[in-house]
């Protein structure tokens, strides 16, 4: 048992970190490994791999994800900013490289192989992008001479351009939505918010006419009879077959014909084998994590911490909402993973970075007053 009198780094961390959120995140992480053993074997067998290929790899990623969460949660807000800036610069560089040397999968270039491991740089970009944008908005608000809002807009344009070039419109929409939320929290005027919303709508219309695969997904969502809706139809049958209590672990049938049962449609596999009750429990856990993060944000006195925690919480919640919405045929089909549950090394480690940032910034010691010299430079404050 750690004593409150202990002033070591670990003791201070233990008494200041949000242990409830940490427990729920580790619970999701463990559930993702267990559910991978249920959802991934049919996919592995179809690809000619060993039965538990994906499940074992997920189990290998889990300790690394845990270490990332715990390690980042030890950082101070300034260290969080510096780490985020490093991740952002590396991710942007890798996203440029992906366009030239990345492997093309289903018409998109999103992955690069390093040391035999497939990485998706855009996954790591998201948490770093949110932290840096929050910092830019905060600095722009505190120091009028700092062009924080302009730099945040430029960063959004660069990021969106690289995502569209892959193309990855789903991640673009997610990034734009979270950026808009942080923009709103920065205290901007309603006309600017309206202008942002109008720009977003115009961008969606442009994407509809410019990208055939995006057009196809929207058309199939609006008119299911007019196109191929195989995966979402099978997903819906999984919910119907599972009912409230499910058919039992390993007893699912739909996963054997569901192409992406271990990634984008793992929620449907959960519904068939474990029932709607477990699905509702997962929804409640994600909802609790998001709401707890927003409550922490409301209590922060520092604008940077408030906007960063809120933006990161919205990101994790919006990503979960999109994944579940696609599985339930409430949203157009989009390849977005369910945080901590879906298979995928990049997605899992990226989610770990998100939660590590949230836990670090929401620690009680983050409220300590930091004195900033009136003539300190923009770089020195980073």
| pLDDT tens track, the chain, 382 positions | 566 676 777 888 888 899 999 999 999 999 999 999 988 888 888 888 898 889 999 999 999 999 999 999 999 999 999 999 999 999 999 999 888 887 766 667 777 777 667 788 889 999 999 999 999 999 888 877 878 888 998 999 999 999 988 888 888 889 989 998 898 888 776 777 777 778 878 888 787 777 777 787 787 777 777 666 777 888 889 888 888 888 888 788 888 888 888 888 899 999 999 999 999 999 999 999 999 999 999 999 899 999 999 999 999 999 999 999 989 888 887 778 899 999 888 899 999 999 999 999 999 864 444 445 555 555 666 7
Task: Give the Å distances, CA to CA, from 114 to 60, 87, 92, 94, 103.
Answer: 17, 16, 16, 11, 12
By DSSP bridging, strand 117-119 and strand 103-105 are unpaired
pLDDT at 209: 78
Q: What was the pLDDT predicted at 369?
A: 47
Residue 374, pLDDT score: 54
> Following DSSP, what letter does each residue of 31-64 receive, concatenated?
HHHHHHHHHSHHHHHHTT--TTHHHHHHHHHHHH
Place of tokens 């901007």: 188
* Residue carrying the six token digits 């409640």: 284
The tokens of 181 are what? Answer: 């939320």
Euclidean distance between CA atoms 341 and 278, whole angstroms? 13
Cα 376 from chain centroid? 34
pLDDT digits (tens, 9 = 90+) for 150-199: 899 899 999 999 998 888 888 888 998 999 889 888 877 677 777 777 88
**Pairwise CA distance, residues 44 & 37, whole Å:** 11
pLDDT score of 324? 93
The span from the CA of 289 to the CA of 294, in Å, is 9
Residues 6+ apart with CB under 8 A from 114: none
Residue indicated by tokens 């054997």: 256
What pLDDT, on the 0 to 100 scale, is given for residue 370? Answer: 46
Q: Do 291 and 316 meet the contact criterion of CB atoms below 8 Å apart?
A: no
- Which residue is it, tokens 């604008």? 303
Residue with token string 């192409």: 259
Strand ranges across the sheet with 117-119: 103-105, 108-114, 117-119
pLDDT tens-digit series, residues 294-320: 999 999 989 999 999 999 999 999 999
What integer pLDDT is reported at residue 380 of this predicted model? 62
Residues 6+ apart with CB under 8 A from 354: 126, 127, 312, 315, 316, 339
Q: What are phi and psi of 2, to 5 degrees?
A: -85, 125
Give every CB contact of residue 299 below 8 A, 6+ residues apart in sequence: 367
């Amino acid at each position: 048992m750690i004593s409150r009198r202990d002033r070591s780094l670990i003791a201070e961390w233990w008494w200041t970190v949000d242990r409830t959120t940490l427990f729920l995140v580790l619970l999701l992480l463990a559930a993702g490994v267990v559910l991978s053993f249920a959802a991934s074997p049919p996919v592995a067998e179809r690809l000619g791999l060993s039965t538990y290929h994906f499940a074992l790899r997920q189990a290998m990623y889990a300790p690394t994800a845990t270490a990332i969460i715990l390690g980042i949660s030890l950082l101070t807000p300034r260290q969080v900013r510096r780490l985020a800036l490093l991740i952002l610069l590396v991710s942007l560089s890798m996203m440029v490289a992906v366009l030239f040397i990345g492997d093309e999968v289903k018409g998109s270039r999103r992955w690069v192989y390093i040391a035999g491991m497939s990485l998706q740089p855009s996954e790591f970009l998201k948490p770093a992008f949110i932290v840096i944008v929050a910092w830019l908005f905060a600095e722009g608000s505190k120091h009028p001479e700092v062009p924080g809002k302009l730099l945040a807009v430029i960063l959004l344009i660069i990021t969106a351009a690289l995502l569209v070039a892959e193309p990855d419109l789903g991640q673009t929409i997610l990034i734009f939505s979270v950026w808009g939320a942080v923009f709103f929290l920065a205290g901007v005027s309603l006309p600017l918010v309206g202008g942002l919303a109008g720009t977003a709508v115009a961008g969606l219309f442009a994407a509809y006419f410019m990208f055939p695969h995006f057009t196809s997904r929207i058309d199939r969502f609006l008119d299911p009879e007019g196109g191929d809706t195989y995966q979402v139809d099978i997903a819906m049958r999984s919910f119907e077959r599972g009912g409230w209590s499910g058919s039992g672990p390993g007893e699912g049938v739909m996963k054997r014909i569901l192409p992406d049962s271990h990634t984008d449609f793992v929620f449907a596999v959960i519904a068939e084998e474990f029932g709607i009750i477990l699905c509702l429990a997962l929804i409640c856990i994600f909802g609790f994590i998001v709401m707890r993060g927003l409550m922490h944000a409301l209590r922060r006195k520092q604008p940077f911490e408030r906007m960063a925690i809120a933006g990161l919480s919205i990101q994790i919640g919006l990503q979960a909402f999109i994944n579940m919405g696609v599985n339930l045929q409430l949203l157009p089909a989009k390849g977005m993973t369910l945080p901590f549950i879906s298979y995928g090394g990049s997605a899992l480690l990226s989610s770990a970075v998100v939660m590590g940032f949230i836990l670090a910034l929401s620690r009680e010691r983050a409220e300590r007053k930091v004195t900033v010299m009136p003539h300190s430079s923009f770089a020195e404050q980073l």
